[in-house]
Structure 1
Amino acid sequence: MEGQARAPAAGTVLNALANRTGSAFAIDEYTTATVELDGSEAVTGTVAEDPDADTRLVEACVERVVEFYGNNQGGTVHTESEVPMASGLKSSSAAANATVMATLDALGVTDELSREDACRLGVDVARDVGVTVTGAFDDASASMLGGVTVTDNTTDELLAREEPDWDVLVYTPPERAYSADADVARCQNIRPMADLVAELALDGEFTRAMTVNGLAFCAALGFSPDPMVEVMDDVAGVSLSGTGPSFTAVGDRDALEQIHERWGARDGKTWLTTTQTEGTQVL
């Protein structure tokens, strides 16, 4: 019994740490999960990019799906990713979504659970495992459904979804930043700015929203806003993604190609991509 699925990464419009409202957009970079159920007593996970990576999240996703839709089968889950871990690009949400859908595929029951509910299942597991502070329904919904989503992370309610066609530039510094380690109390101090960003996002002004978000959360989380400031006049929107350290910019592709050279001079990795509107897909 084998299944496979891939889930896109995402960038941030509004970080939910301040007011529990979040917004994110899917990008055309993927995490792929392969699940094999073999009747063993346990689930074992591996990560192609890091043999020592923490696999509790993907293992628990398999266990939760087979608890509800299978017979508590054990097996293996293997992930491969184009998304750097702990970079603010929603690698955990993508891994959870891909694993949930791959497990449903292995069981042959992909039609028994809506994609929104499949997303919520992965979010519940992420909370239980402790890899998220907010529950990350915003990040997970963008990755599962595609496009840009706005969510209430207290109730796991989808407030809005649209399908923008954006070119996207991503800059990822070499360091890592784990969202579970973020200073939540400090982020909550900027709630008035987060409330403003939420209003902009719900009005469909996503690019303005992400720029305000980026400046506010750079200050709250201790990141330099320099990558934003040096390109702000040339893009439609730019933000710190998640709890960092990555930055994403959206706008005219010619302008983004020029900015690629500026960001590319920094330590780390810079690449051009696009938004993704199909969400997580069974392969």
Structure 2
Amino acid sequence: MDGQAAAPAAGTVLNALANGRGSAFAIDEYTTATVELAAGADVEGTVAGEPDADTELVETCLARVTGRFGDGQGGTVRTESDVPMASGLKSSSAAANATVLATLDALDATDEVTREEAARVGVEAARDAGVTVTGAFDDASASMLGGVTVTDNTTDELLAREEREWDVLVYTPPERAYSSDADVTRCRQVTPVADLVAELALDGRFGTAMTVNGLAFCAALDFPANPMVDAMDRATGVSLSGTGPSYTAVGTREALETLAGQWAEYDGTTWLTTTQTEGARVL
């Protein structure tokens, strides 16, 4: 009873910490999960290259899926990723989605649940594991479904999904930032701005929404706005991604290649990718 799946990372349009509404877009970088199930076995997770990583999330995903769609089997789940952990690029959502799909694959049960519902299984596991404040259905839905999604994370409702063919520039500083450590009180103080961003996103004005979101959350979470200012006259949109520390800019390849040279002057890594519209998949 083996299964394997991959799920893409994502960038932020609207951070849901302020008003419970969020928006994110999938990018062409992946986390892969490999699951092996066995009756009566303990559940054990590992992360390639991260021997001390917390594996409670993926273990909870496996247990939830086998409890709901199988016979409560245990087993192992191993994840490997091109997405840096705790970087604001939705590595937890990608790992959860990949694990849920890989476990369904191992059970031969992928036809028993929609992709939207599969994303909700991962969100429930994330809440159980305490790795998210909002439940992150915005991030999970973008990763699972592909494209750009807008959600109400208080009800796990998908409000909108659209596709955008953007090039994407990512800048990741060397430090890590865990969303569960974010100052929620400060984030909720920018709710009036987040309400505006939600309106822009639901109107399909994702680039403007990103930029307004990024300025508000850089201030709320005490991240520098310099990378955003660098991008404003070139990118379609730019934002702090999640609760940081990464920044993402979307637009044309030519404009982002110019911006990449400027972002490369900061400590950390800068790389170009694209949006992804297919979402997570069984391998």
Aligned: 1:87 with 2:91: no
Map of 1:247 onto structure 2? 247
Shift of 1:216: 0.2
Pairing of 1:3-18 with structure 2 (within 5 A)? 3-18=3-18
**Matched letter for residue 16 of structure 2:** A
**Matched letter for residue 87 of structure 1:** S
Map of 2:57 onto structure 1? 57
**Matched letter for residue 27 of structure 1:** I
**Matched letter for residue 190 of structure 1:** V
> SS in structure 2 opposite 1:133?
coil
CA distance in 2, matches of 1:17, 1:117: 22
CA distance in 1, matches of 2:39, 2:77: 13
Map of 2:163 onto structure 1? 163
Shift of 1:40: 4.0
Contact 1:49 1:81 in 2 (8 A): no
CA distance in 1, matches of 2:273, 2:134: 27
Contact 2:230 2:259 in 1 (8 A): no
> SS in structure 2 opposite 1:49?
coil
Map of 2:2 onto structure 1? 2
Provide TM-score, normalisation by structure 2: 0.99
Map of 1:114 onto structure 2? 114
**Matched letter for residue 175 of structure 2:** E
Q: What RMSD over aligned residues (CA atoms) do the two structures have, in Å?
A: 0.6
Contact 1:24 1:149 in 2 (8 A): yes
Shift of 1:72: 1.1
CA distance in 2, matches of 1:199, 1:231: 23
Map of 2:187 onto structure 1? 187
Shift of 1:264: 1.1
> SS in structure 1 opposite 2:66?
helix
Shift of 1:38: 2.2
Shift of 1:39: 2.4
Contact 2:241 2:247 in 1 (8 A): yes
Shift of 1:41: 2.7
Map of 1:127 onto structure 2? 127
CA distance in 1, matches of 2:119, 2:252: 31
Displaced runs of 4+ in structure 1, greater than 6 A? none
CA distance in 2, matches of 1:110, 1:65: 11
Aligned: 1:78 with 2:78: yes
Map of 1:101 onto structure 2? 101
Map of 1:282 onto structure 2? 282
Aligned length: 283
Deviation string 1:4-39 (CA, Å, 9 cap, x unpaired) is 000000000000000000000000000000000022
Contact 1:11 1:248 in 2 (8 A): yes
**Matched letter for residue 74 of structure 2:** G
Percent identity of equivalent pairs: 75
**Matched letter for residue 254 of structure 2:** D
CA distance in 1, matches of 2:30, 2:269: 16
CA distance in 1, matches of 2:88, 2:39: 36
CA distance in 2, matches of 1:83, 1:261: 21
Pairing of 1:256-271 with structure 2 (within 5 A)? 256-271=256-271
Deviation string 1:122-142 (CA, Å, 9 cap, x unpaired) is 101100110000000000000
Map of 2:66 onto structure 1? 66
Provide TM-score, normalisation by structure 1: 0.99
**Matched letter for residue 74 of structure 1:** G
Unaligned runs of 5+ in 2: none
> SS in structure 2 opposite 1:230?
helix
Map of 1:145 onto structure 2? 145
> SS in structure 2 opposite 1:102?
helix
CA distance in 1, matches of 2:209, 2:60: 34
> SS in structure 1 opposite 2:102?
helix
> SS in structure 2 opposite 1:105?
helix
> SS in structure 2 opposite 1:197?
helix
Map of 1:31 onto structure 2? 31
